[in-house]
Amino acid sequence: MTIRNVDPSDAARIAGIYNHYITGTIVTFETDPVTPEEIGRRMRAVTRDYPYLAVEDDAGMLTGYAYASRFREREAYRHTAEVTIYLDRDRTGAGFGAPLFAELLGRLRETDTVALIGAIALPNEPSVGLHEKFGFRKVAHLEKVGHKFGKWIDVGYWELLIREAA
């Protein structure tokens, strides 16, 4: 397994991984598949300020990605980041998620970030378990804030403080 920074050439593979979650699950509230060009644009926006990582299996196949992004746009939120992780649907539970997430959190600890937020559409036990494994705790539960595939979806927020606020 190799964890590395994303490269622009990863955009098509990342779009392929993410589009499964858009079209087949409730874990993202996006409803229309994204193009590799759109993923490339998003990658460039994220990597200006935050880590955006890819994990590859031993054969060099990109099997997942994780990144941080600004939690909210207003300046007072500048020390808070939202974390995101997606794995290829055929590679979930294969041991790629925890090392990838650990690397993301480690890199964020090297920044001036204080608080990390994980927003999780519910139910999603694998994501809840991953966040809680790394010390995130549930701090909020919003009911029926999303509507996809004809059903209402709750969202939980998990938080991890990675340093003392100065």
Residue ranges per structural domain of the chain: 2-161
> Distance between CA atoms of 101 and 97, rounded to whole angstroms?
6
The amino acid at 4: R
Cβ(16)–Cβ(24) under 8 Å? no
> Distance between CA atoms of 101 and 99, rounded to whole angstroms?
5
Express as a percent the part of the chain with pLDDT over 70: 99
Q: Tens digits of per-residue pLDDT, 12-61?
A: 999 999 999 999 999 999 999 999 999 999 999 999 999 999 999 999 99
Q: What's the confidence (pLDDT) of residue 135?
A: 97
To the nearest 5 percent, what fractions of the chain are helix, strand and coil?
35, 35, 35
Arithmetic mean of pLDDT, 115-124: 98
pTM for the complete prediction? Answer: 0.94
CATH 3.40.630.30 fits 2-161, yes or no: yes
Does the structure show a pLDDT above 90 at 95? no
Q: What is the mean pLDDT of the chain?
A: 95
Q: pLDDT grade, residue 144 (50/70/90)?
A: very high
Kind and range of the H or E run holding 90: none
Arithmetic mean of pLDDT, 98-124: 97
Does the structure show a pLDDT above 80 at 165? no
Q: pLDDT grade, residue 166 (50/70/90)?
A: low
> Distance between CA atoms of 159 and 47, rounded to whole angstroms?
22
Q: What are the tokens at 149?
A: 């595939």
For tokens 């699950």, the residue is 25
Q: What's the confidence (pLDDT) of residue 94?
A: 78
Dihedral over alpha carbons 49, 105, 141, 93 (to 10 degrees): 120
Express as a percent the part of the chain with pLDDT over 90: 93
Arithmetic mean of pLDDT, 78-101: 92
Q: What are the tokens at 45?
A: 């926006």
Arithmetic mean of pLDDT, 127-133: 97
DSSP assigned state of 163:
S
